Chain A
Amino acid sequence: MPNNISEQQKKQAALYICNALSITSKRKLEQELKNNSKLLDYVNDLKLSIEKTREISTIGPSEELLQGSRNLLRGKIQDLNNKETIVAKLFAILNNIKDGVASIAKTRQPVWAVVTYVAIGLIAGRMLLTPLDDKPIDISGQEQVDMNKLLQSGVLSDLKIDQSTLSPSSIKLVSHSDDKFNVSGNVNDKNIRQILYYLLLNDNDVDNRYQAGKQIRRVNPDSESQMVLISSVLSETNQRVKMQSMETLSQYQSSTDLINACKRILLDDRNFEMRLQSLNILEKNKSIELIPLLEVVSKMDDNSKVKKKARELLADLQKPVSIESTEDIQ
């Protein structure tokens, strides 16, 4: 009676258990099993190990895991729908911009491409582009600067805030490469605001972006500056610049775009201070729609401070309405 099994027999035995042998091969193997005790043991071992694995692997997920995943999925789907809305809005803005602007944007670094579109969309807006000439650029005294002209001239790429002349009432922006270009005035002047927005979203120098963001804190809040800051917090790679934009946003009145941005930061941003700040903004705009998101964050966030804050907000939102307040409504 043969008591050894070959590699080929082992393979045949495995396929036999998987019910993957032809009828002829199956009969042949069954015949062998009657005469080869080692092969029979091998088949039994295979069967037992599969049975045991099957037994423990069919244990289902806990209700807690499922509920957490469902809530997280809700947040993601909501975020997906919001992004589609924002993209649709941006496309609508971009459709108003001439082809020339798009060709300039293409030459920028890919990482900034999207941000450039946002910035140009916001800054250029409905601005009409004018033909270029070779004259030096001087925007002093102009009511509205031609941003396209400035972009093409390159002066915006090395523009700095002149710290020596900076005061609460005035700001001066100077170009290092073109001493004919400088602009001074108040941060709320339209031209200065637009250049600051451009620097915050597009400048290669981190410190320059930080300084621009610092000056934007002094700009009177409006929907345009809010969109620029939202673009900054969603796309900025430097934590210091991003955090500063977030802190500035916390001073703004809420809007759907701001709330959506905060939700996204809360789910995606790796910096816990950013997530904490977004909770602070959401706290000012509490609504029951936030409950699924807060449930996820309160259970699954990596940071204890964020978890605690989310729990507090959640408890606040889930508080039963008092009889007095119901009577007030009536």
Chain B
Amino acid sequence: MDKTTKDLIIKAQAGDTESFHEIVTIYDTRIMTLTLQIAQNKEDAEDIYQETFVKVYKNLSKFRFESDIYTWIYRIAVNTAYNYKRKHSKMTIVEPKEESGYDFLDWVYDPQSSEDNREELIIAINQSLLTLSHQQRTVFILKHIQQLKIKDIANILELSDGTVKKYLFRAMEKLRVSLKEYNYA
């Protein structure tokens, strides 16, 4: 952690709200990317983003510099995203738009600037991810997109290694079946 970031954290811990917002600006792109990946829709991703940083703000005084601040925020974000499903049902009822793909795409990707087959693939991948259970999707994203180790995923989500492996296998198998026709296109 560089000195500037450390200074910002110390100031924010002392109650300087502007320093807190500077910290947000440093890390929020990565956190929003993560929440979009797990939630698969803009509204839920935004809710998780807000909930994450409000938790960070409320608990910042407890941060003791024993780990990297990003690791700490990241853990809060993953846990918030994982537990979000228990409180809200929106994640499971996302329906694809008929013509232009998911609203998720409207916010992260401009279909106009891409070739049709790529757009089709993106829609297929998102559709496949939505067929996974919330647990399967979270574990898959953390392992294969965020590239965490199984042990770390189990630790963050407070699951056993075996359960993580079970979710991973189910997720990978479902994606393999859904995306088989695109694999050699």
Binding site for B on A (CB under 8 A): 10-11, 14-15, 17-18, 20, 42, 45-46, 48-50, 52-54, 56-62, 64-66, 68-70, 72-74, 76-78, 80-81
Contacts of B121 in A (CB 8 A): 52, 56
CA distance A93 to B27 in the complex (A): 41
Interface flag for B74 (CB, 8 Å):
no
Interchain CB contact under 8 A, B33 and A60: yes
Interchain CB contact under 8 A, A65 and B107: yes
Q: Which of the residues B28, B37, B109, B182 comes within 8 Å of A52, measured between beta carbons?
A: B182
29 pairs across A/B with beta carbons < 8 Å?
Answer: A18-B168, A20-B165, A46-B176, A49-B175, A49-B176, A49-B180, A50-B144, A52-B125, A52-B179, A53-B125, A53-B175, A54-B145, A56-B109, A57-B37, A58-B145, A59-B109, A61-B32, A62-B107, A65-B32, A65-B107, A66-B32, A69-B46, A69-B50, A70-B24, A70-B28, A72-B46, A73-B53, A77-B17, A77-B57
A46-B172, A50-B175, A62-B108 in contact; A69/B180 too (CB < 8 A)? no
A-B pairs with lowest CB-CB distance, top 5: A48-B183, A49-B179, A61-B32, A14-B169, A49-B175
CA distance A50 to B176 in the complex (A): 8
Q: Which of B165, B180, B183 has the most CB of A within 10 A?
A: B183
Contacts of A18 in B (CB 8 A): 143, 150, 165, 168
Distance of B109 from chain A, by nearest CB (Å): 6
CA distance A68 to B46 in the complex (A): 9
Distance of B115 from chain A, by nearest CB (Å): 13
Interface size on B, residues (CB 8 A): 48
Distance of B110 from chain A, by nearest CB (Å): 9
Interface string of B61-85 (1 = CB under 8 A from A): 0000000000000000000000000
Contacts of A50 in B (CB 8 A): 144, 172, 175
Q: Which residue of A lies closest to B57 (CB)?
A: A77
Interchain CB contact under 8 A, B172 and A57: no
Contacts of B108 in A (CB 8 A): 59-62, 65
Interchain CB contact under 8 A, B179 and A53: yes
Distance of B125 from chain A, by nearest CB (Å): 5
Those of B8-26 within 8 Å (CB) of chain A:
17, 20-21, 24-25
Interchain CB contact under 8 A, B28 and A57: no
A45-B176, A69-B50 in contact; A77/B129 too (CB < 8 A)? no
Interchain CB contact under 8 A, A74 and B21: yes
Q: Which of B49, B144, B176 has the most CB of A within 10 A?
A: B176
CA distance A60 to B53 in the complex (A): 18
Interchain CB contact under 8 A, A61 and B107: yes
Contacts of B20 in A (CB 8 A): 77
Interchain CB contact under 8 A, B32 and A53: no
Interface string of B150-185 (1 = CB under 8 A from A): 100000000000000100110011011011101110
Q: Which of A42, A57, A59 has the most CB of B within 10 A?
A: A57
Distance of A299 from chain B, by nearest CB (Å): 12
Q: Which of the residues A17, A42, A80 comes within 8 Å of B54, measured between beta carbons?
A: A80
A52-B183, A73-B24 in contact; A57/B141 too (CB < 8 A)? yes
Distance of A179 from chain B, by nearest CB (Å): 51
Contacts of A54 in B (CB 8 A): 144-145
